[in-house]
A and B are shown apart, each in its own frame.
Chain A
């Protein structure tokens, strides 16, 4: 019997993703973002989160997926991983659910265009819902950003 996990569910495009609730600092509505020049395109800039400057990135852009339009459902999920605070722009964020860690399977090589190393696994909820669990430290891996930058140059 695995342990129960509380997970925040958010949507990008048609997929549903999950982040463990204790890694999430806050979920904000869309707010003005200050562009930071000379950064990769998926880094949208920085926001003022109650006096703290927090970088914001677009998760779709991070996974090289097409970025969707900002709507009234668009949210910024601020997570704290490895002493870094980073905001993710996602299409929707409106659910917290309990899942059992036993229901998380290892992901196939590529899920919806995202490489497996960014994922912790895929959780099955009910009969027809799949939840993609993100591996945050890999998503925020800076070494890879440096490589990306070098590719662009």
Chain B
């Protein structure tokens, strides 16, 4: 069977499950006694195992299986979590992630995991007190396959579990599911049935066993014994709602019929001769069915409605929707122009209405591309944990506003800069435990990662309560590195001094560590963020902590811009970097060392001639008495650019110049105007040195 059609689904879902595993392991580490978290972890691991086995990724499946064994012991109180187990599980998780990554890259998902498997096996076998009992339960698969080779429908243990459940008032069902003949993904369908059953109760036994179902080693039907909290009719309806199911039989069992089933086992032995390899999971889950059934029920009510309200959409489709919409936007501007030329009232009204509808549409299309920052944030808790451990520090990472949404293009780019900032905070910001105690602070440091909307921007802040920036030291360093001149040093405010840490080639750490402090990090962070149209600032109080604040635009695909003319050439300047537009007299231009400057709000700022910079063929401002200027800013630096004529403000769609034209200085891209002409977008950041 061709699995490629399901590969992308597998990749999406396994990424979800890996993330869930990661999150839950982190939660468990902070609350090691919470068995319900172990249950969640176990479920994710189990699903992942099933999926990988179905898709034929054996290494993935076997590693997950071993992890599952360990978790199984933990949730049955046969094993206590300790740091060795956590580390091994995290290692296993990393290995799983790299295997899934390999699959994404088109590989086979194979990897040598024998070391981790050996660790996991040793945990299962030796490293806990009830060694014998637990090991036998974990390896239930093997042991039962031997002892029950000729066994029947239910072994003694299973029937006693079912019997106890009936006695304690739970309903027990015998379910026979038959798939349609045309069903191609039998394993997936049977998994979905199991999922339904596990959500509503507990599966005690399945025939053929779970492993065989996962590997499609069955014909069209399978049977399950389950303890359930809902009515048989509901159960039938739920299972029938899965597609490609031909029929479902649900028989409620009482003690009598149970007894028949167990005793008649030998007569049915011939038919059921297949090895009785009851999955470790199934037998183990049965051991505390009552408790689990209760927990499973509320979990399901939380999960179901959310799952139904979202669909997965291919990114390419969203991109092409965006492209088509930009086309329409260009036509809209064109129509508006035509309507204003023709001056017919009903045409103008229609065009205005269309403009309103399309701006609503624009909002929705842009929202479709919005992704919660959580998709970036979710890998940070793990990263901070590992860092803190390797640095021997105690750190709490507090994330707020993870649901804040940003355009996917921004999200893709923002990960690395944030990693840099966080590493910086953990490495340089937070002190070691002994230093913190000496400073009278709690020994656990706090790093807060916050995201929130404000106006047309999203802010992301990284704040810690560490040692803060020693601005005197920063200044000294900056002077010694030639970043600041000695004579200018006195004029700088504390915040300005602190901003110097973003200067290229600056690093205050005496020891260059593996984690940060190579003197490139913060420089790269600022370059990256400004290239995204954002800004980064730092505020710090020595001894109290430091806060990095990153300001980002909501979207990169449609921006507001000022259209201008140089002769007959048109250009666009992003509105976000324009401070002011003005008209100045030629006589007011000052000349300093051969450079033109103007006075602007009590400051003297450079005057840039765009026509000279871009070698304008048919415009030069030299002969004019009055100049139209636009004052632009980059950070706290200002400059004025001389232009020919203002056209007006407009929403423009960003287009790239293509792969052939890259890195053209002063130009960040192009847009298509209402008349179909291409206008270049000026990159103000490149104009200010």
Contacts and interface: CB of A to CB of B under 8 A. Distances in A.
A35 interface: yes
B330 interface: yes
Contacts of B665: 38
B569 A36 contact: no
A36 B666 contact: no
Interface in A57-106: 83-86
Contacts of A86: 658, 660
B659 A83 contact: yes
A36 B677 contact: no
Contact of A34 (B323, B569, B615, B656): B569
A39 B659 contact: no
B661 A39 contact: yes
B123 interface: no
Contacts of B77: none
Nearest to B658: A55
Given A36-B657, A36-B680, A53 B667 contact: no
Nearest to A34: B678
B658 A54 contact: yes
Given A37-B667, A38-B665, A32 B677 contact: yes
Contacts of B617: 35
Of A32, A47, A48, A52, chain B has the most CB atoms within 10 Å of the CB of A48
B664 A51 contact: no
A85 to B, nearest CB: 6
B330 to A, nearest CB: 7
B613 A46 contact: no
A48 B678 contact: yes
A140 interface: yes
14 contacts: A32-B676, A32-B677, A34-B569, A34-B680, A37-B664, A38-B664, A39-B664, A43-B661, A46-B661, A48-B677, A51-B326, A55-B661, A85-B659, A142-B662
Interface residues of A, number: 23
Contacts of A47: 678
Contact of A51 (B327, B656, B677): B327
A84 B659 contact: yes
A84 B614 CA distance: 25
B679 interface: yes
A35 B655 contact: no
Contact of A84 (B327, B658, B667): B658
B172 interface: no
B661 A38 contact: no
B230 to A, nearest CB: 54
Given A34-B679, A53-B670, A46 B657 contact: yes
Given A39-B661, A53-B656, A86-B660, 5 more contacts: A38-B666, A38-B667, A39-B664, A48-B672, A84-B658
Given A39-B664, A46-B670, A55 B678 contact: no
B672 A51 contact: yes
A83 B327 CA distance: 22
Contacts, number: 73
Contact of B660 (A34, A35, A38, A140): A140
Given A34-B679, A38-B665, A51 B659 contact: no
A53 B664 contact: no
Contacts of B661: 36, 39, 43, 46, 55
A37 B666 CA distance: 9
List 5 tightest A-B contacts by C-beta distance, closest first.
Answer: A37-B614, A34-B678, A84-B659, A53-B655, A53-B670
Interface of A: 32, 34-39, 43, 45-48, 51-55, 83-86, 140, 142
Contacts of B569: 34-35
Of A38, A54, A86, chain B has the most CB atoms within 10 Å of the CB of A38
Contacts of A142: 660, 662
Contacts of A140: 660
Contacts of A85: 658-660
Of B326, B659, B660, B665, chain A has the most CB atoms within 10 Å of the CB of B660
Nearest to A54: B658
A36 B660 contact: no
Contacts of B330: 51
Of B323, B614, B617, B659, chain A has the most CB atoms within 10 Å of the CB of B659
Given A38-B665, A38-B666, A53 B658 contact: yes
A36 B667 CA distance: 9
A37 B615 contact: yes
A70 to B, nearest CB: 16
B328 to A, nearest CB: 10
A86 B658 CA distance: 8
Contacts of A46: 657-658, 661, 670, 678, 680
Given A48-B677, A55-B657, A34 B670 contact: yes
A53 B672 contact: yes
Contacts of A51: 323, 326-327, 330, 672
Nearest to B669: A53
Nearest to B331: A51
Nearest to B662: A142
Given A46-B670, A48-B672, A34 B677 contact: yes
A119 B667 CA distance: 33
A85 B330 CA distance: 22
B676 A48 contact: yes
A83 B614 CA distance: 28
Contacts of B677: 32, 34, 48
Nearest to B330: A51
Contact of A36 (B326, B613, B664, B676): B664
Interface in B637-668: 655-662, 664-667
A108 to B, nearest CB: 29
B229 to A, nearest CB: 56
Contacts of A55: 657-658, 660-661
A122 B659 CA distance: 29
A51 B667 CA distance: 19
Contacts of A37: 613-615, 664, 666-667, 680
Interface in B13-27: none
Nearest to A140: B660
A35 B617 CA distance: 10
A37 B670 CA distance: 12
A36 B614 CA distance: 8
A52 B655 contact: yes
A38 B614 contact: yes
Interface string B610-633: 000111010000000000000000
A23 to B, nearest CB: 14
Nearest to A52: B655
Contacts of A34: 569, 670, 677-680
Interface string B598-617: 00000000000000011101
